[in-house]
Amino acid sequence: MKKLIAAFTLALSLGALAYAAEPAKAPAAPGAPAAMTAPAASPTAPAVAAPSATPAAPAATPAPAAPLKKEIKANKVITIGMFAVIIAITMSVVVWAAKRTKTAADFYAAGGGITGTQNGWAIAGDYMSAASFLGISGMISLYGYDGFMYSVGWLVAYITVLLIVAEPCRNAGKYTLGDILSFRTEPKPVRAVAAISTVAVSTFYLTAQMVGAGKLMALLVGVPYKTAIIGVGILMIGYVVFGGMTATTWVQIIKAGLLMSGAFLLSVLVMAKAGFNPIGFFSDIVNSPNIQDHVSKLLLKDGITMTGTDAGQRFLEPALFMKAPLDQISLGMALVLGTAGMPHILMRFFTVPTAQAARKSVIIAMWIIGGFYVLTTLLGFGAAINVTPQVISSVDAGGNMATLLLAQQLGSDISPIVGDIFLAFLCSVAFATILAVVSGLVLAASAAIAHDIYVNVIKDGHADQHEQVMAARVTSLCVGAVGIVIGIAAEKQNVAHLVALAFAVASSGNLPVVVMSLFWRKFNTAGVISGLLVGTIASIGLVMVSPNMTYPKTVAAGAKKIVAAMEKKQAALPPGATLDEKDLKALDKARKDYETNKDGKSILGLDAPILKLKNPGIFSIPLGFLAAIIGTLAFPSRRSEEMFDEIYVRQNTGIGMAKAIDH
């Protein structure tokens, strides 16, 4: 319980720091490609005083440039060539892994033969998504300090993993979340409910990643959305069905190496522009006319006026974007506690031979992920200086193309062909990133269905190795196919809320029951089922009535304002003059949006959100713990109490854990 208390203290401390940000009406969340939209709150906004609202004297700086709208389009020949190289390398890994995947242990856990160092890189590859690589650097390029503080939450989350789940889960489990929870409970109902939770979390996250892949490929290379989805789906099915965990692990390691290499090389070019002088780098931010103009005209609200270097300095201070303290605390709790409950992360600890290797893998992953987020900070601020927020937002309102624009520009400063090559390389890295993440998610979902439901519930544990592996492969094929269908169906949908859903379910349903199963003697079957069901249902229900969903009347209200603004602009023109083509298109679109949405309701029939928080963790996480406690106390089980000593010894010593297979 000391570990649990330490983790909660950490989460609440981070939330308390976030509360120091000045409350204000938050700006509208930036529009971004699905699956790359960063949640509009940070778990770790620090206690920095808000700047004075007194207008500052403008500094003697040159007027900001008026950058033209740029289009980002990768060189198809070079980019597709790099895609082909990455696919060829990873498919050769699949062929090699397929020859070594003969048993269920091989398929689900790579036979326990992955080293701590390899698993650390694989965890990092599983965790660092396209949202991190593109979304966070983009948020920094548009909102400065707030974007950096958002990234910290993802890193701090691994402290919870290290403190609570890494070693005990590796020692007490076998392949899945259901293995951990069913050890001293009634196995069939517990495995069934655990499998449903695992599939739900994996589906939410998988859908967001698939939609992001389709839109990213369509934007960068011009590949049709459906073609991109089908291509990614076929590759991920191939990785998992034939190579199992071994292939998935090495795909994630390769992806992590490529991602870190690309981010490091681009960061070196950014710092070279600043003469490798960190002080000069931040001075460039403060003194940039374009950043100053961006802050003074677009980011400052509530009548606050700033110009010159004061506006530039404000870019390095909090609360330009994340202005809802309670939402920040809620998001912080979901990130810090949810990561430890993500099924595809938990599965990684079953791949190492010892508990020491499990701990080592988490520490290595933390160093890699920490270094990566330092690099994304340089990339975000570097994009703000060299590309400018105006150009970044003109290409994509959410800023998700900032890193790619930066790569293209810095490479082109050397030579146009270098710019094309650099952009193509980073596009390929983003592609590999998505492939690695979706492969891990498919493996987690298929393991829950094949191992927990088919083998242990339907077959009552009586299935030979051939049958288990065949069930795993067929299930992986089905899960991958369903992922493709959902990805295609969700093309027009706003799926950004699915990432929030995944972490909310993991933190509210999965984590409470995992922690109590490992550390509370009285915990039993009723507690597992109550915690999983209440935590999952509460988190999904609260997200469905939150601002994450689309509310047509809100959309109509925004469209009505645009119509009024355009009509006012038209009235101010000389007689006979008309709006330019861009404004006419905006006016026409706004009128159509208004007519379409003025009488609409959300998916649950609401006019406006009931819950004002974008992430429900602050409510759903306590509900999950409370339900698990009440269920346990209401239906006590002597058998569960008597078996606690055995699982306690196992989680601390590893006695009884299957030995690693020497490959």
Q: What backbone phi and psi angles, to 5 degrees, belong to 100?
A: -100, -5
C-alpha radius of gyration, the chain, whole number: 25
d(CA 552, CA 559): 10
* Phi-psi sector, 276: left (phi>0), alpha (psi -120 to 50), beta: left
Portion of the chain with pLDDT greater than 70, in percent: 87
For residue 153, pLDDT over 80 is answered with: no
Reported as a single tens digit per residue, the pLDDT across 389-411 is 999 988 888 888 899 999 999 99
User: How confident is the model over 475-489, as a mean pLDDT?
Assistant: 92
281's enclosing H/E stretch is helix 278-287
Average pLDDT, rounded, for the chain: 82
Structure tokens that stand for 327 in this block = 């939402």
pLDDT score, position 161: 82
pLDDT score, position 237: 93
Q: Using DSSP, state whether 208 is helix, strand or coil.
A: helix
Structure tokens that stand for 643 in this block = 């078996």
> Which residues, including other chains, have CB under 8 Å from residue 275's CB and lie 6 or more apart?
none
pLDDT score, position 530: 96
d(CA 381, CA 285): 7
For residue 18, pLDDT over 70 is answered with: no
- The answer to whether the beta carbons of residues 292 and 60 sit under 8 Å apart is no
d(CA 591, CA 556): 9
- Provide the CA 481 distance to its chain's centre, in angstroms: 22
657's enclosing H/E stretch is none
**Lowest-pLDDT range of 12-21, 197-206, 233-242, 340-349:** 12-21
DSSP letter at 607 equals S
Reported as a single tens digit per residue, the pLDDT across 544-574 is 898 888 888 888 988 899 899 888 888 888 8
- The answer to whether the beta carbons of residues 515 and 4 sit under 8 Å apart is yes
Confidence of residue 494 (pLDDT cuts 50, 70, 90): low
Reported as a single tens digit per residue, the pLDDT across 106-146 is 999 998 889 999 999 999 988 887 777 888 899 899 999 88
Q: What backbone phi and psi angles, to 5 degrees, belong to 266?
A: -65, -35
Give exposure, 336-345, as e/b (b: 16+ Cβ within 10 Å): bbbbbbbbbb
77-551+601-653 folds as Sodium/glucose cotransporter (1.20.1730)
Confidence of residue 67 (pLDDT cuts 50, 70, 90): very low
For residue 30, pLDDT over 60 is answered with: no
d(CA 348, CA 453): 20
DSSP letter at 317 equals S
**Lowest-pLDDT range of 46-50, 306-310, 455-459, 470-474:** 46-50
How many CB atoms neighbour CB 388 within 10 A? 24
Give exposure, 587-611, as e/b (b: 16+ Cβ within 10 Å): beebeebbeebeeeebeeeeeebeb
Portion of the chain with pLDDT greater than 90, in percent: 40
pLDDT score, position 305: 77
How many CB atoms neighbour CB 394 within 10 A? 15
- The answer to whether the beta carbons of residues 134 and 36 sit under 8 Å apart is yes
Structure tokens that stand for 152 in this block = 């910290």
pLDDT score, position 71: 66
DSSP letter at 379 equals H
Question: Which pTM does this prediction carry?
Answer: 0.81
